[in-house]
Every structure is written in structure tokens, then in C-alpha cells.
Structure 1
């Protein structure tokens, strides 16, 4: 595991991890300093793990400024399981159908899965623009009796990102923040629920963080399977069934890194803004030679989806970058082109190297 390889990982997920976290994880796989045992063999019933979960929750509360009105659960199944679990728990006959924003690949998946278990409405659909722009949620005509409004804060495939959002009237707001969670401060009080799987900014795949307002938990109907009931995981402190010990351990290391090395989420936001400004500036300078999928007002700081306009050129660039030790730049299968993911652990030096590679490719191949 070398710092160089980590710095040049632009994959959409699993994403890059901080070099210091990789080093600590490497040592922990052999033996944890606190226990002398490998983290891969640590019991989820051990005092060490129980303490780790408590620290992870406390670190998240501190980073986000999360109030005591919210509970935290570490769950499994990624966002895909949340897509079905959320309507099972929070939609019901006492409310109008929940509303969904269909703004890209993952929000379409969330909407389709929710509709398998409950009647849901689509409040806005970006298909007409080929998912290159986003709405202002406060301007949408949402039934005030809707169970909730769901959206994906950052579309990794199309490279679209919402800013802070408010819902009309008192409709609870639920956000899938999987790919921009902890990348900047969030006004958590605006949300009834935030969830995020780990493999973008939090650690390896295997764990999903759910922040749920206690008032929303009161809606959960009786009779759900215990493992699909958020109250189960909260009551058992994320230890109802065997949890992903390794993934939670790495998530905890990442939370320490954000707190101690970076200096919190505002500092992380400033770093991410510099990185995205660097690469968008490089691409914009090429004019018509490159196409950025997202329209300018909605460009993501996390995922930059672009193309040189021909599949042969895009393949050539990916190979050109790979020769310079840059991996993960292939675009998603549904969109093609390239995608540079600038998650928290991708350094400014790595982004500068990518920008130089883009300029060099353009000068010699276009």
C-alpha cells in the first residue's frame, strides 16, 4: 500500500482512503495496538468494539453538529437496502404518498425500488435534460401531507450536486448523501433523515450510516421484520446482528482524520472546492474540445463527468492516464466518457497531476 497509488485513485467507488488511515489499517490487520489481535478477528461483542461504535457515533455528532434529536445507526446493505427500507418504515396510510426527485442514475434506482413496496410520486424528473441539471426543491409543488420528500444530494454518475435544500412547508426531507457525506458542513436540522454508504468518503464498503430524527421513528408501523426496523438497530447500538466490524473500524479512523488532521468539515469543504475548481478550470479552458455533462450551476465537487466527444478519444485518454499511474477514470457504464471522483482523500496534488495530464493529452491528441 503506497501513498502514491492512493493519491492517484479517482475511482467512483470504492474511493480513495487517506494515506494515514491506510497505514493504520494495514497495522490493524496484523494486530490492533489495543488488543494484540487482528481487527479482522475482533468480536462484535467485545468491549473494544462496543467502545469503537460509541466513538464513531460521537465523532459523527461532533463533525456534523448533530443534535440529540437524532439517533445514529450503522447498518448493512448499502443505500440499495435503504431504498426499500425507508418507505417500509416511514410511508403509510396516515400520509399522502412520499415524493421522489428523479435526478440521475441513483435517484432513479431509489424511486423504482421504493415503488415496489409503496405508492410513490415523482415530484421532478430530469430526463428531459438528460439529467444535466437540478431543481430548487423549495419551488416544487409538493403535497404538504406527503410522507416525505426523498432526493440524492450528489449524483455520482452524472456529476450533479445539490446545495443546501429546504422542503415546502413541513414535509420531512430525506437525503441519500452517500457520495458527499462529510465533504462539507451540513445543516442537519433541515433533515428528518440522512443516510450514506461508506465507500466514497467514509471507508470501505460494508457499512451504511443512518441519521434519523426521533420524531420520524414514531411513524414506524408494527409488524416489520426486526432487521428492517430502524428502531431495532438503534436499540441494539448497531449490534443487533453481526455488524461489519472492519468497515466500522476504518470509518472511525476516517472520522478521526477529518477531525484531527483536516480540522473539521469546513476545512474539508475548502479543500474540496479548490480541487474541483482546479479540474473544472482545466476542462473549461479546452472549450469545445471537451464536454462536461453537468450544466455549470449544478456541477459536483465530488464527481466530474466529461468526454472528449468520441469513444476512441475517451478510451485513449483513460489509457494515457493509466500510464501515468492514474486509475478509476472510466465513466459509468450508463453514461460513458470519463469520471474523475474527487472524494475527501484525493489530494490536491493528485488533482493537479490529473489536470496536467488532461492538458498534455489535449495538446498532443486533440
Structure 2
């Protein structure tokens, strides 16, 4: 499968990238081609028609995909990540949606972020239980592929007094009355990817459309989707940064100044070496998170560490690549210009670097409290 991606990169990806950059839209032929090649069902379970790849085998493939245009990477990432939230649903929900996703007959979007709030227990979108049904009220934004999706996983507050246990996940099919989608402005990078504001006004969902249990929305969002998605985004940053390093290396080998190629200058060589070290370090953190996920471990911290490091790394590597290109790299259409733009989208997908740091430090402080309690218990026993 990895070789299939490499062949796609060499023979087809550039043409699709040119079309996307020129039109600002993802052609339907790209969706069809990626599904035909099997790139959109790599991690889906075999029983549903997917390849069933563990993250440790999927990541090298995702890295190759991430050398391509950002929208190509986004399609593959969304298709192979959001479905995992459905594993928290009823068997009937899984049996209905997962085979459809594997066949390419459906697409699922994920709606958590809100324009006036964050992505946690401060959510303001509510789901009020009335006469055997829930009524959604509120607004989401920055929802990727919402307009293309056949069903949207919506996280809403069902009980404001219960904190994390007061959040619930819902499966809301497209076209549902009371759900209005409004297109958002084009983004700096990942051209072609659509984002939408979703407004819920007296939008009715049934009890059968609850994903998981009432009150399990935080677990569905974080452990069902966000944790592994953050690791996937980190791996995407590795692929993009490797591409930036590759094109920068090729450029300095052939760019002549004062009668010598740039690559002959020690300062340039040191810069390339630093970029390579940063990329490899990020790659290993991603593979560590993947191995832990495959082993069934909680990867909240491992994924946060991998993503915090990767988005910092991809910014620094693309900065360095642009610097090596000089002024010509700043020109629209240069080999580094699109990579530079696409890299910045990774900073915000599934949380900023500050969000990742909050997850990390929460665990650090919890572990410190445990050590303190153990130490006190030991002293009591000894006395």
C-alpha cells in the first residue's frame, strides 16, 4: 500500500494539486480516485470492508500521503480517523455506517469547536431532552467537510451541572431540519478543504441517534477520536516537513552563488542537518504514540507530546526551507510556498500547542500528587 501511495505521488498527485490550487476546489475525481486506490479505508475494520491497519503500519503510509497537497492529506486523514468515534456507538450504528464509509458511500464529519467557546466542558451547544427526543440549540464552526458529510457527530451539553459527564455525542444526518450549514471563508492553506459554521435551532434528534451513552460525549470525543487524531496530525507534520527538507536539499544542490552550490557552504549544511534531526525526532515520537495505541494504552499524553513537538517542528523546518530558497521561495507556485501555507493548518487541527501542553501538564501534576500520597502513606506505615 505504501508503494501504491508513492506511485500516486509520482504520477498523479501533482496534477490534482495544480487543479486544486487553480480552482480552490477539490475535484470529485480526486475523492473517487483516493477511494478507488483504497486510501480512505486503510484503518477501518476488516469486517466492514477496510484494511484494518494498526496505527504503526498506517503511519508510514500517512507520512507518504502528507508529502502531497494538504487537501489530499486531509481527505485521507479524515477518512481514517473520525470513524473511530463510531466504535463507541451501538452495534446497529456501527453496522450501518462503517461498511458505508469503507465502500466510499458515506463521509462523516466531527463537530466540537464553537465560535464563542472552546472545545471542552465550556461548550454552549445544548441538547435538551423533551418527550422522548433531544432538541439541539447552538453553533459550531471550523467543521471540516461538513457540507460533504452524510452524517455529523455533534458534541453537545445535556447537563450543565455534570462537567465532562454532562456532554453527549449525537449522530445528525445531513439535511436534518433545524441544522443549517454556512460556508466559511477560504483558508490560507489546504486549499479546497471546506469548513462550515453549523447552526442548530430546534434541531430534533432521536434517542437512537445518541452515539454511545448519554453523558459519554467527552469520552467519545477525546478517546474515540481526538487522541489518535492528534497523533495522526503529528505524523502528517512529519511527512510535510520531510517533503520541505527534500525540496530544500534538492534546491541548494543546484543553486549556484559565487561560483559554488549553496550545499557546499557549511552554514547551509548545518541547517539541513538540524532539519533532518528535528524530522526524525518527531517521527519517533509519533511511532511511540502509535505503538501505545495499538497496545490498547491510553495515549492522551503521548499524542499530545507528539503533536506539540510536531507542529513546532514543522513550523521551524518550513521556515528553514523558505530561508534556504531565499526570495524565490516566497513566490506563488515555488516548491516551498504551498508547503509553507499547508504546514500552518496543522497548528490548529485538534488543538493548538497550548492545548497539548495543558493535557501534558495535567498528567504531570496528577502523577506528582500520586507520588506525594504514596510517600505520605509510606511514612504512616513506617511510624
TM-score interval for Structure 1 and Structure 2 normalised by the shorter chain = under 0.3
Give the TM-score taking structure 1 as reference length.
0.26
Larger Cα-atom Rg? 2
Higher relative contact order (Cα pairs below 8 Å, separated by 6+ residues)? 1
TM-score (norm 2): 0.25
